[in-house]
Chain A
Amino acid sequence: MSDVVILGAGIHPFGRFDTSYEEIGATAAAAALADAGVAWKDIQAAYLARMYLPATSGARILRRLGSTDIPIVDVEAACASGGVALRQAILAIRSGEADLVMVLGTEKMPRGFMDPRMIYAPWQIEMGMSLNPSYWSMRARRHMHEFGTTDLHIAKVAYKNHRNSVHNPNAMYRKEFSLEEIANSPLVCDPIRRLEICAPNDGAAAVIVASKERAAKLGGNPITIAACCHSIARFSADFRCPADSMSATANNPGPTEVTGHMAYERAGLGPDDIDCFEVQDTDAFCEVEIYEELGLCGLGEAGRLIDEGTTEIGGAKPVNMSGGLISKGEPVGASHLGQVVEIVSQLRGQSGKRQVEGAKVGLAHVLGAGGNCAVTILKR
């Protein structure tokens, strides 16, 4: 299998804007082209990751860059859409059909809770079982019961991510909150609080990917995609399906564990080889659970990892240097590519005050509805 590399990356800040999704998306696409030193006319195929945009959004956005007849494909896999789009581009390159491809994620979403009709049956909505954070919160409660994880552990993750975001010009909030402010913010779904949860918003991010051979001709310092894997939750292995019931007897590993393992194997690396992580912190507890499922620590040990500061910038395993979704917001289709843009910046040593010193390998992880999970590992 041929290596696929990232030649360039670009982002439109995550936030809330009056501009159209076409303009937001085109801004990130143009930035990625400029960063790669590649012209739009040389791109052979493009994939758009999005969940809340209308039909053929990819073509509508990218037409702004100039007349084209290349295949432009819209991809949707809930919160994992960006990873799935990136994987499609890699497959296109490995197939030999293309050697220079754009992957764009763009979203423009209404404020507040996400429209439940996208993922819930009418009866679940009528009964009030259609609030995404309620599912995450139930995971948190069970973890607290089994392993003694505390409200303070969860608050500490939110504290870390908000603090990291102060140094990220592309994040929405960019504000540090005290532990007290976080712990006293209103409950959304017990035990998860307002300042521990991400907000849907607008944003875009893009990368230009190429075969290693094409990249060599173009020059520059490409980042290698060591793995990009996608899977969906096995039977009864994840709450986010969204489940109306769970098996009490099946014991399947969760999608993060499965996809993470797949990516580690593909890359020939393990969690101890990764210098920095960007993971799905739709709520602060989600990040806690991911520490364990990606093997940053053993089962039930995430609380200790937080207390020891291991996942802070400067710790042994920094997580969500960008501020995570909690502070950036989650423009669903753009979120994984936003993580990839952050990892590229870290591996190039361009992350300023949020830089992980000497970072050579980074991992990006997303997880969402349908138990869709994507994990990408990049190295320089």
Chain B
Amino acid sequence: MANDTGGPRRAAIRDGLLTEPLDDLSKVRLQGSRCRQCGEVTLGRNSLCPNCGGSELEVVPLSDRGELWTYTVVRHKPPGDYRGPEPFRPFGLGLVELPDGLRVMSPIEGDVDSLTVGMPLTLKVAVHHTGPSGEDVVAFAFAPAR
């Protein structure tokens, strides 16, 4: 997970969620697991298909473009170990429909009052917070497409 390029060590916020390496974040994508039996694509690297139970899964990079399928605005600081910006700022949260056949739950960047169902979005991968061992923890969001 750590890179060897001399920069800060980096790790994906969830193992198997992002393509690697993580040194150039502009090239990192979300990845999914496509079931060879039923064809369902699920988020991240999975060993079993949660639809049909199949065990032959192919890890595939997911599209970095999608459309907002539905959304909300989180107006209160989420409970527990939330690692977003301090002080808390309300943020968009939505399901982003990707052409790969799934909708991914994701923070939505930008003005919370300009969100609309169907708006085009692009993936943003960035360092989210510092982990317990001083590593840069890399997470994702979607932002309005330019």
A and B pair up? yes
Instruction: Using CB atoms and an 8 Å cutoff, list the residues of chain A in contact with chain B.
Output: 112-117, 120-123, 125-131, 134, 137-139, 141-142, 145, 186-192, 235-236, 243-250
Whether the pair B80, A130 counts as a contact (CB closer than 8 A) is: yes
List the A side residues contacting B73 at CB < 8 Å.
187, 189-190
3 smallest A-B Cβ distances: which pairs?
A: A137-B72, A142-B70, A245-B43
Please tell me if B84 contacts chain A, counting CB pairs below 8 Å.
yes
The listed residue (A141, A192, A247) touching B101 by CB distance below 8 A is A247
List the B side residues contacting A114 at CB < 8 Å.
79
Whether the pair B80, A235 counts as a contact (CB closer than 8 A) is: no
For the A-B complex with A141-B70, A190-B71 known, give 14 more contacts whose Cβ atoms are closer than 8 Å: A115-B80, A116-B78, A131-B76, A134-B72, A134-B93, A138-B94, A145-B117, A187-B75, A189-B74, A192-B72, A243-B105, A244-B105, A245-B105, A248-B101
In angstroms, Cα B104 to Cα A267, docked, is 39
Query: Count of chain B residues with Cβ under 8 Å from any Cβ of A?
Result: 44
In angstroms, Cα B106 to Cα A138, docked, is 12
Q: Which residue of A lies closest to B92 (CB)?
A: A190
Q: Which residue of B lies closest to A113 (CB)?
A: B79
Whether the pair B72, A129 counts as a contact (CB closer than 8 A) is: no
A233 CB → nearest B CB, Å? 11
Q: Which residue of A lies closest to B116 (CB)?
A: A145
Whether the pair A250, B51 counts as a contact (CB closer than 8 A) is: yes
Main SS of chain B's interface residues?
strand
In angstroms, Cα B19 to Cα A176, docked, is 53
Whether the pair B82, A188 counts as a contact (CB closer than 8 A) is: no
Most buried by B among A187, A245, A246: A245
Most buried by A among B13, B73, B79, B91: B79
Whether the pair A127, B70 counts as a contact (CB closer than 8 A) is: no
CB contact under 8 A between A127 and B51, given known A190-B75, A243-B105: no
In angstroms, Cα B73 to Cα A141, docked, is 11
Whether the pair A127, B74 counts as a contact (CB closer than 8 A) is: no
List the A side residues contacting B84 at CB < 8 Å.
127-128
List the B side residues contacting A112 at CB < 8 Å.
79
CB contact under 8 A between A141 and B72, given known A125-B78, A126-B81: yes
List the A side residues contacting B97 at CB < 8 Å.
248
A137 CB → nearest B CB, Å? 4
The listed residue (B40, B44, B70, B75) touching A188 by CB distance below 8 A is B75
Please tell me if B83 contacts chain A, counting CB pairs below 8 Å.
yes
The listed residue (B13, B95, B139) touching A246 by CB distance below 8 A is B95
Most buried by B among A112, A123, A127, A187: A127
A229 CB → nearest B CB, Å? 23
List the A side residues contacting B60 at CB < 8 Å.
none
Instruction: Using CB atoms and an 8 Å cutoff, list the residues of chain B in contact with chain A.
Output: 13-14, 17, 39-44, 50-51, 69-76, 78-84, 91, 93-95, 97-98, 101-105, 107, 112, 117, 128-129, 137, 139
List the A side residues contacting B44 at CB < 8 Å.
244
Whether the pair A113, B51 counts as a contact (CB closer than 8 A) is: no
The listed residue (A115, A126, A138, A192) touching B70 by CB distance below 8 A is A138
Whether the pair A126, B82 counts as a contact (CB closer than 8 A) is: yes
In angstroms, Cα B75 to Cα A189, docked, is 6
B88 CB → nearest A CB, Å? 9
Whether the pair B51, A236 counts as a contact (CB closer than 8 A) is: yes
CB contact under 8 A between A139 and B80, given known A126-B128, A235-B50, A246-B95: no
CB contact under 8 A between A244 and B104, given known A142-B117, A235-B51: yes
List the A side residues contacting B128 at CB < 8 Å.
126-127
Whether the pair B40, A128 counts as a contact (CB closer than 8 A) is: no
Whether the pair A246, B74 counts as a contact (CB closer than 8 A) is: no
In angstroms, Cα B80 to Cα A112, docked, is 12
Whether the pair A123, B78 counts as a contact (CB closer than 8 A) is: no
List the B side residues contacting A115 at CB < 8 Å.
79-80
Whether the pair B80, A117 counts as a contact (CB closer than 8 A) is: yes
Whether the pair A245, B74 counts as a contact (CB closer than 8 A) is: no
A87 CB → nearest B CB, Å? 25
In angstroms, Cα B71 to Cα A310, docked, is 29
CB contact under 8 A between A130 and B82, given known A186-B75, A189-B73, A235-B51: yes
Whether the pair B102, A248 counts as a contact (CB closer than 8 A) is: yes
Q: What are 24 residue pairs bridging A and B, where the CB atoms are less than 8 Å apart in the complex? A: A113-B76, A115-B80, A117-B80, A120-B80, A125-B81, A126-B83, A126-B139, A127-B83, A128-B82, A129-B105, A130-B78, A130-B79, A137-B72, A138-B70, A138-B72, A141-B70, A142-B70, A235-B51, A245-B42, A245-B103, A246-B103, A247-B102, A247-B103, A250-B40
A49 CB → nearest B CB, Å? 23
Whether the pair B80, A125 counts as a contact (CB closer than 8 A) is: yes
Q: Which residue of A lies closest to B73 (CB)?
A: A190
CB contact under 8 A between A123 and B13, given known A190-B75, A245-B42: yes
List the B side residues contacting A139 at CB < 8 Å.
70
